[in-house]
Structure 1
Amino acid sequence: MTIPPKPAARPDKVSLWRHLRAFRRDILSSQPARLYHAWMAEFRTPFFRSYLINQPDLIDIVLKDRPMNFPKSNRIAEGLRPLLGQSVFLTNGAQWQRQRRIIDPAFGGGRLRDTFPAMLAAGQAASARLAEGVREIEAETSHAAADVIFRTLFSLPIEDAVAAQVFDQFRAFQRAQPVLNAGAFLPLPRWMPRGHRRQTRAAARRIRALITGLTQDRMAQIRAGTAPDDLATKIMTTPDPETGETFATDEMVDQVAIFFLAGHETSASALAWALYLLALFPDAQDRAAAEATAFAQNPTFSNLSALRFTRDVFREALRLYPPVPMMVRQTTRPEQFRNRDVPVGSQIVISPWHLHRHDRLWPRPDEFDPDRYATEDGTACLRDAWLPFSSGPRVCTGAGFAMVEGPLLLALLLAKWRFEALPDRIPVPVAHLTVRAREGIWLRLTRR
């Protein structure tokens, strides 16, 4: 059976300098192969210790049982501050709790049904934009996912001038932003520059200026009573149930920035890899296309449940190519994991990339098998070892949103288009802001 590509692992023992250089270029290929088998591994630098954990009960302690004892690491946050400021993705403690109290209601209950028409319109527009021939599919999925975010958040299609500018500037930010900067490795005082590239800072400023304009316009519409009933309006008018306060403009800009990052960048990554996997496995593509064709005849929210195999294809893409490959927490008190002392200030790394391919948890971990989720083992793994959206109180707010958007867009594209892999252009996954292909994902498209 053809095995989907993954990057080669580095040798088990290399110098600290070589590891740090490789880590800065690409997280995935800088890791040793033993992490696909180990329950825990320790990595030491002159300034801190890092512990990667794959053991499910240890992951539960960090993410579910005692999450407040393991806040998000500021080392990883340093590289994203210019764009995300104090967004819910980066904050901890009481500030994070307040932000979630305001944001979560917008994504709960019947809101997914309310956002479905905007998702559907974005997906249909994406399918109409495609053309026959060889295409770089990540660019197409980025366009589609950005369209979903703008339609659901601000009721604007991607063709809107401001939306298009944000999309273009975000692509510039992604190209300029390394995964990690100096602040991730060195104990820099707060006054010292963080080593952000000039292009990174400039792109972040432009994005935030555009988002500020959108946010101020929406606040004016809310005051005038003319605001559309979309996610931005819901979030901006929801008071904190404990204090009665709503987000100020600057706070809302931070949140919109992370909604765009999390909702556009991650969805684009997962959708592109799902299309590549289906191109690599034509029989699976035919099964998903049959579901998609039937769904396209009556594409309603209620009929999404009929996309069972398509949903499992998307789950399998999230397993093999999790958009966020690693999550980092920090210890606030002495811990003991697997009879090993873990000091205060240690970095606790939870790696969906390694957990999802762990050979002691998943049968045939490197194979593409959407049918695994219909088995007892697959159900257990889905519960214990599948973390594309994190877990516990800090689970991604938009997880439910993504699991509607992904299968929906996949179905709308498959209903009209056939995707074929190119033998001479095998994509190599690398970690930038998300797991993308080093030179893009090139597929041949033909109309069905």
Structure 2
Amino acid sequence: MTPPKPASRPDKVSLWRYFKLFRKDILSAQPHRLYRAWMAEFRTPFFSSYLINQPELVDKVLKKQPDQFPKSERISEGLRPLLGNSVFLTNGKTWKRQRRIIDPAFDGGRLKDTYPAMLDAANAAVERLRPLAGTELECEQFTSYAAADVIFRTLFSVPIDHKIAAEVFDKFHRYQRAQPLLNLAALFPLPKWAPRFHSSETKRNAKEIRFLIKQLTADRAKQIAAGCAPNDLATKIMTTPDPATGQCFGQDEMVDQVAIFFLAGHETSASALAWTLYLMALYPDWQDNVANEAQSLFDQGFTTIPRLKLSRDVFREALRLYPPVPMMVRENTCPVTFRDRVVSEGSQIVISPWHLHRHERLWENPDAFDPARWETENGRSCQRDAFIPFSAGARVCPGAGFAMIEGPLLLSMLLKSFRFELIEGREPVPVAHLTVRSKDGIWLRVRER
């Protein structure tokens, strides 16, 4: 039994069919040959895109020459209404200044400080699930709520049922279902004055979310000024000056950053945890092993986290098979040669964790769920060279360490108390929204252990 794949992996795709599939679901549009190719070119009348799977090329773009390959403005267009000039979208000096302020909040010692809030959120998730034992559960909605609770508790020291937090969650849920992975501006060159084809619903939800976040940051600024702010991530970020300029984030820029923290820290974590629960139902022996590990290790504080080895390997394997962000796009700023082919300035460079993590020339049995692979020579090699769920290099997600604590913690706490089982006829089909989600949700039956 292998985990589900997208609706299709066509052998050959004409430009017209690719465009139709692309609009429906970017994952199903990808031909099978891309899971073996080191590089592929995709031409439009306006620009060329190059998918790169060869580890040396990925390393060059993400690690060795990141300034030559900034984030593509084409991809930024689709997220601009919500994220403004957040660290996820900016480039160059602006991005470097933002990272200098943000990174200290996510260092190792700071993550240890967030553990009690994460544990409270995990316990709250268990209690919310307890009345649902014996029923069929749509896991994506449940994990979205749990991950949002983690973010609000660690960022603003409030639970998800806080009035503003609950409103942000509700409006973001609508936003993420209405917003495709790629806006039309990603496919066609548009002048700055041209409309960006954002739906009225997308713009309205983004505006309302940003208004609510502005309320939270304004309240926190008052608490900081009064000397009574809680010692959480928001306080840390808002009071950390840029070591190069001595300036902190202004209020509007802090709204941008909180928007991406919520997007990256909630949407991606929810996707990863939901797919992990499905894989646990698909492989009940692994589920029992993780549950047994959790039974024996908890109630030891933060020292529990490094000892959740099985849970971490299972979560990592879910990230490999279902990377929350399936594709990343860079733009080269000057001509470059890849595999004896000249890639012209302005071309789009697509780095796809979805393909790289399932690449047939890199991974042993790439479509199989096998958490034990991480202890093999092939698994260790691929973890270094072909595993980038959080990107890599200078632009690696600052919350990567946060996610690798949150995911195994929530998984272990849930499996410690509950068993998740498959429902016949409800196999999920992965599609790309803002993250990799299931076309019709991930439905599992949940039972109390």
Q: With the length of structure 2 as denominator, give the TM-score of the two structures.
A: 0.98
In the TM superposition, residue 372 of structure 1 has moved relative to its aligned partner by 0.5
Instruction: Quote the Cα distance in structure 1 between the aligned partners of 2:331 and 2:8.
Output: 25
SS of residue in 1 equivalent to 2:86: coil
- Map 1:284-303 to 2 at 5 A: 284-296=286-298, 298-303=299-304
Pairing 1:19-418 to 2, within 5 Å after superposition: 19-130=18-129, 131-132=132-133, 133-296=135-298, 298-418=299-419
Task: State the AA in 2 paired with 1:107.
Answer: F
Q: Distance in 2 between matches of 1:81 and 1:129?
A: 34
Tell me how far 1:12 sits from its aligned partner: 4.2
1:424 maps to which residue? 425
Distance between the aligned counterparts of 1:412 and 1:295, measured in 2?
11
Q: Secondary structure at the match of 1:110?
A: helix
Displacement of 1:18 in angstroms is: 3.0
Q: 1: CA distance between counterparts of 2:349 and 2:114?
A: 36
Measure the CA separation in 2 of the matches of 1:208 and 1:428: 32
How many Å apart are 1:9 and its aligned residue?
Answer: 3.5
Q: CA deviation at 1:306?
A: 1.7
Shift of 1:10: 4.6
- Is the contact between residue 116 and residue 301 of structure 1 (CA under 8 Å) also seen in structure 2? yes
Q: In structure 2, how many angstroms separate the alpha carbons of the residues matched to 1:259 and 1:334?
A: 34
Indicate the SS of the match to 2:5.
coil
Q: C-alpha separation between the residues in 1 aligned to 2:125 and 2:108?
A: 27
Q: CA deviation at 1:299?
A: 4.5
* 1:314 partner amino acid: F
| Whole-angstrom distance in 2 between the partners of 1:342 and 1:86 | 28
What secondary structure is seen at the aligned counterpart in 2 of 1:119?
Answer: helix
Task: Give the deviation of 1:94 after TM superposition.
Answer: 0.3
Q: RMSD over aligned Cα, in angstroms?
A: 0.9
Letter of the aligned partner of 1:233 in structure 2? T
Separation in 1 of the partners of 2:338 and 2:150? 42
Secondary structure of the 2:446 match is strand
CA distance in 2, matches of 1:29, 1:299: 44
Please give the per-residue CA displacement for 1:148-201, whole angstroms capped at 9, x wherever unaligned. Answer: 000000001001010000000000101111122221111111011100011000
How far off its partner does 1:443 sit? 0.5
Amino acid paired to 2:276: A
For the residue of structure 2 that corresponds to 1:89, the secondary structure is coil
Q: Residues of 1 paired with 2:11 and 2:447: CA distance? A: 44
- Runs of 5+ consecutive residues of structure 1 not aligned to the other structure: none
Aligned partners of 1:134, 1:293: CA distance in 2, in Å? 24
Q: Judge conservation of contact 1:79–1:180 (CA < 8 Å) in 2.
A: yes
**How far apart are residue 8 of structure 1 and its match?**
3.8
Secondary structure of 1:240's aligned partner: coil
The answer to whether the 8 A contact 2:13-2:31 is kept is no
Cα distance per residue 1:190-248 (max 9 Å; x no partner): 01110001100000000000000001110111111111000000000000000001000
Q: Which runs of 5 or more structure 2 residues have no equivalent in the other structure? A: none
> How far apart are residue 54 of structure 1 and its match?
0.4
How far does residue 388 in structure 1 lie from its aligned partner after superposition? 0.1
TM-score by length of 1: 0.98
The answer on whether the counterparts of 2:7 and 2:429 sit within 8 Å (CA) in structure 1 is no
Q: Distance in 2 between matches of 1:36 and 1:170?
A: 33
- CA deviations 1:381-421 (Å, max 9, x no partner) are 11111000000000000000000000000000001000001
Which portions of structure 1, spanning 4 or more consecutive aligned residues, are displaced by more than 6 angstroms? none
Whole-angstrom distance in 2 between the partners of 1:140 and 1:12: 36
